[in-house]
Structure 1
Amino acid sequence: MERRNLELTVGIFVLIGILCLAYLSLKLGKVELLGGDHYQVAADFDSVSGLKSGASVEIAGVQVGTVERIGLDPKGSGRARVYLKVQSGIKLQEDVIASIRSRGIIGDKFVLLQPGGSDTVLKPGGRIRETESAVDLEELLSKYIHGQVK
């Protein structure tokens, strides 16, 4: 009988350890099982060169969301539409500016949001109107080398 109690106790501790490990893995990996507390907004850019899904969305250097997905504008304008997942506690003004920036010279791309001065808040599912596309270093170097810089 004692052996059975010992096996049961060890089994319970192993199960608790596995559950703790699973919880930590989800938290450290920033995986959300139930969707989290976010809302989505979209922004259209002329170029999103180097930006990837999962890239961070920041305001003043603080991460407030992620890039959910990237596609073409459904209206056929030839622009790229970026869908941003922003924490629900963050209120974006209607005149917020979204720009694609790079960490260092050849670092990862991220979306920087610069708050506006409007009193109107952007609603979930809304669209950011003011955008600045990524700077393409290869294109700039090519223009400089071929003497097309103005």
Structure 2
Amino acid sequence: MVVGAFVLAGIAALLVLTLKWSDFGTSSVSGYTLTAEFDNIGGLTDRSPIKMAGVTIGRVSNIQIDPNTFEAVVTMVISSQYDNLPKDSFASIYTAGLLGAQYIEISPGGDTKVLKNGDKITMTQSAVILEKVISKFLFNKAAAQ
């Protein structure tokens, strides 16, 4: 009986830690909407965090393909307390750790005009795909021999 309770407590603790680590426990964000287009989003998903200086400022709310450009259009909801992002801000897709979840990092620009609800971040950097990096390294090594 005691062992069973201990095992259940351990499983519950792991579940809480997993939710805390993945940031899924705080998935609802209210604020304003921005979009950005990327050539490749890698493993970015709905509810992925949007960060600035390492602080979560929003969430990905939707991902679609633009039928004209065939790029991924990412819709983000940014918390209303961060309503002063410069218009020339830069959005990059990064990976948390070597094999962690992907997120969008916003690097603020220097423009005095700010992004408003419905605006588009035009300067973006797509996800770095580990397989492509390894492939380039291997093919460059093979060509050098």
TM, length-normalised to structure 1: 0.73
Amino acid at match of 1:30: T
Shift of 1:143: 1.6
Q: Secondary structure at the match of 1:140?
A: helix
* Equivalent residues in 2 for 1:1-150, closer than 5 Å: 29-30=25-26, 32=28, 37-74=30-67, 76-90=68-82, 91-147=84-140
Q: Secondary structure at the match of 2:135?
A: helix
> Aligned residue for 1:22?
none
TM, length-normalised to structure 2: 0.76
Cα distance in 2 for residues equivalent to 1:106 and 1:57:
18
Cα distance in 2 for residues equivalent to 1:30 and 1:114:
22
Q: Secondary structure at the match of 2:81?
A: coil
Cα distance in 2 for residues equivalent to 1:31 and 1:107:
18
RMSD: 1.9
Aligned length: 118
Cα distance in 1 for residues equivalent to 2:71 and 2:125:
12
Shift of 1:30: 3.2
Amino acid at match of 1:126: D
Shift of 1:147: 2.0
Shift of 1:123: 1.2
Cα distance in 1 for residues equivalent to 2:26 and 2:39:
30
How big is each residue's C-alpha offset from its partner over 1:8-62, in whole Å with a ceiling of 9 and x where there is no partner? xxxxxxxxxxxxxxxxxxxx94365xxx631100000110011111000001000
Cα distance in 2 for residues equivalent to 1:49 and 1:41:
20
Please identify runs of 4+ aligned residues in structure 1 that moved more than 4 A: none
Amino acid at match of 2:53: A
Instruction: Give unmatched runs, 5+ long, in structure 2.
Output: 1-23
Amino acid at match of 1:82: V
Bigger helix share: 2
Cα distance in 2 for residues equivalent to 1:29 and 1:115:
27
The question of whether the paired residues in 1 share the 8 Å contact of 2:44 and 2:103 is answered with: yes
139-148 vs 57-66, which moves further: 139-148
Q: Secondary structure at the match of 2:140?
A: coil
